[in-house]
Structure 1
Amino acid sequence: MSAVLDDMDSRPGSTTSLLRTVIGLYLRDAGGWMSAKDIVNLMEALGTSGTVTRTALGRLRKKDVVLQEARDGVAGFTLTEGAATMLARGDRRIYNPRSMSESDPWCLISFSIPETEREKRHQLRRRLHWIGCGTVAAGLWICPDSLRVEVEEILADLELRAMATIFVTETPLVVGSLRDVASKWWDLDAVAGLHKDFIREHGSGSDQGPDSQVHTGGVVEPSPDAFSTYVQCIDRWRIIPYLDPGLPAAFLPADWPGAEGTALFSRIVATYAEPSAQFVRNTLLATAGAAVS
């Protein structure tokens, strides 16, 4: 899981991040394996050269995201077991953004880890942050109870379960407003910034926004443009559902952009997911046809 988290640090829009997104979206649908040539061809549709793509593939191999595997003498790549599990979890996050109601329970994670386990303590905090937990105090974290299974997985993976206690509770009783404490427990400004960046880059207000590519009648044809639009959308969006805990309205600023960002994402998926997937299928068929001929 640490390799997966390292990959989450890849800057959206970078070659490594875009390649990881392409692999996450389409390698499983291709039967769990894709030739190196197909991967290069798809990345070329995103404006990335074959040389740069192969370098990025090397990075993902080092991060244990993909394994190099030849089939019928053709060089290609498959997912590692850990990456496959991570992508399945990511699918649930990406396509089903969290939205906590006022009555939903909370999960509190209390831990005391000795200095001899300092590195594990650092990893625990880092990984709790990456799944959307907030920091009440150095050894007390909070998240929606819907994340408790992931918290348990992290504690077990780091062999720290015996050093932690998990509480399930109703809305915490605080001094001051819930909005004030939420802004201290989570970096909501940073999360809001991610939503605003996504809206600015992929909204219809931009000349490059997705609406500008929808043909008359609302139909988008399978094309490199459709593929590029969808992959870049997912690449920019995919970290947001991890860092945004989906807090209830009482915890959020009045001008919170989350609902607008989520609605935009859903619209892009509805419009571009299938044309992009068909473009990938056409690309793979073309490669297979060329090999036969």
Structure 2
Amino acid sequence: MLSFLGDQVLGRDVCVYSGSVIDVFGRAGVGEHATRSTLTRMVGRDLLRRQREGRRMYFGLTERSESVLRDGEQRIWEDGAVNRQWDGSWTLLGFSLPESWQRQRHDLRAQLTWSGFGPLFGGLWIAPGEVDVSALVTELGLSAHVKIFRAHADAGMDIGAMIEETWALGELATRYEAFVHRWQRWETTEPAPDEALALRLRLSTEWLQVVRRDPRLPVKHLPDNWPAEQAEKTFRTVYARLTPLARESAEQLLDLVPVRIQT
């Protein structure tokens, strides 16, 4: 849903009719009940706002979802999948939470993973470069339980070994390779006009699912022939090929209305 909203709504100050969303998701193989449930849950989590126009219900972005989507946009289009600009620094984050705080611990670990951290030791996590996580720690209400440091490795430190111990590189490489296997044929295959929008939705979603698990580790410390670069090339090529037809399809399928200022 976030991939769809990022492609079709972000930055346009519009809301999209629920029936349009159901139509597009149906073309991508998602049932109506699942789509409606997702829309409802996202409203409850302040990721979508409702706007009624006559008998139709439209959905638009909130400040929270715009922030999430801008972050994803930065991650996909500007940061990229390969880190060639690493300055040799690391961000260390230590936390100690009460045993009963299972939900808070889960939320913190999920946010740290998205931000590129891996578990160095138990409650000590590490990420390459300078990563500002103060805002997410504050949002989770954990400022009193978290300590953040900047660091450099000792000259005798085997960074490559540390990376292999901290992050599941084999699983990440497999995800990149599977992505290329699924999508490489669309670099040269022309999709039917009525399937381009759903294909681009699936493409964006799958790519985001891969890169959000990638901490963008320094490429010089990764195995030879690391598959991220090829996967990113495939994503960008296929996305560019699908976009013209997807836009034409979106103009025909999507019922959009301007956002009304809520009073």
Q: Same fold (TM over 0.5)?
A: yes
CA distance in 1, matches of 2:233, 2:15: 33
Tell me, what secondary structure is at the counterpart of 1:225? helix
Relative contact order (C-alpha < 8 Å, sep 6+): which is higher? Answer: 2
* Matched ranges for 1:101-140 at <5 A: 101-115=85-99, 117=101, 119-140=103-124
* Matched ranges for 1:151-170 at <5 A: 151-170=133-152
Q: C-alpha displacement at 1:174, in angstroms?
A: 5.5
CA distance in 2, matches of 1:243, 1:198: 13
What corresponds to 1:224 in structure 2?
A: 194
Alpha-carbon spacing, 1:159–1:284, altered in 2? closer, same or farther (3 Å) = closer
Select which of 32, 36, 53 maps to 1:54.
36
Would the aligned equivalents of 2:21 and 2:254 in 1 still touch at CA under 8 Å?
no
Q: C-alpha displacement at 1:180, in angstroms?
A: 1.8
Residue 23 (str. 1) matches residue 5 (str. 2): yes
Select which of 181, 203, 218 maps to 1:200.
181
Select which of 190, 200, 209 maps to 2:171.
190
Select which of 190, 196, 208 maps to 1:213.
190
Select which of 233, 253, 257 maps to 1:283.
253
Tell me the TM-score normalized by structure 2.
Answer: 0.84
Q: Which amino acid aligns with 1:70?
A: R
Worse-matched range after superposition: 103-112 or 48-57: 48-57
Q: Which amino acid aligns with 1:76?
A: Y
- The number of residues matched between the two structures is 255
Tell me, what secondary structure is at the counterpart of 2:229? helix
Alpha-carbon spacing, 1:240–1:153, altered in 2? closer, same or farther (3 Å) = farther
Would the aligned equivalents of 1:107 and 1:145 in 2 still touch at CA under 8 Å?
yes
Tell me, what secondary structure is at the counterpart of 1:203? helix
Gaps spanning 5+ residues in structure 2: where? 258-263
Alpha-carbon spacing, 1:160–1:101, altered in 2? closer, same or farther (3 Å) = same
String of CA shifts for 1:54-82, please: whole Å, max 9, x gaps: 34433433444323321244211122332
Q: C-alpha displacement at 1:253, in angstroms?
A: 1.5
RMSD of Structure 2 on Structure 1 (CA): 2.7
CA distance in 1, matches of 2:93, 2:84: 18
Worse-matched range after superposition: 31-40 or 59-68: 59-68
Tell me, what secondary structure is at the counterpart of 1:245? coil
Q: Which amino acid aligns with 2:203?
A: C
Q: C-alpha displacement at 1:23, in angstroms?
A: 2.4
Would the aligned equivalents of 1:100 and 1:246 in 2 still touch at CA under 8 Å?
no
Would the aligned equivalents of 2:90 and 2:151 in 1 still touch at CA under 8 Å?
yes
What corresponds to 2:217 in structure 1?
A: 247
String of CA shifts for 1:6-65, please: whole Å, max 9, x gaps: xxxxxxxxxxxxx34222321235533111122123223324454543344334334443
Residue 38 (str. 1) matches residue 20 (str. 2): yes
Would the aligned equivalents of 1:210 and 1:229 in 2 still touch at CA under 8 Å?
no
What corresponds to 2:260 in structure 1?
A: none
String of CA shifts for 1:179-212, please: whole Å, max 9, x gaps: 22101111112211211111111013xxxx3421
Tell me the TM-score normalized by structure 1.
Answer: 0.76
Tell me, what secondary structure is at the counterpart of 1:33? strand
CA distance in 1, matches of 2:221, 2:254: 47
CA distance in 2, matches of 1:82, 1:102: 30
Q: Which amino acid aligns with 1:101?
A: Q
Alpha-carbon spacing, 1:43–1:29, altered in 2? closer, same or farther (3 Å) = farther
Q: Which ranges of 4 or more aligned residues in structure 1 deviate by more than 6 Å?
A: none
Q: C-alpha displacement at 1:129, in angstroms?
A: 1.8
Identity among equivalent pairs (%): 22
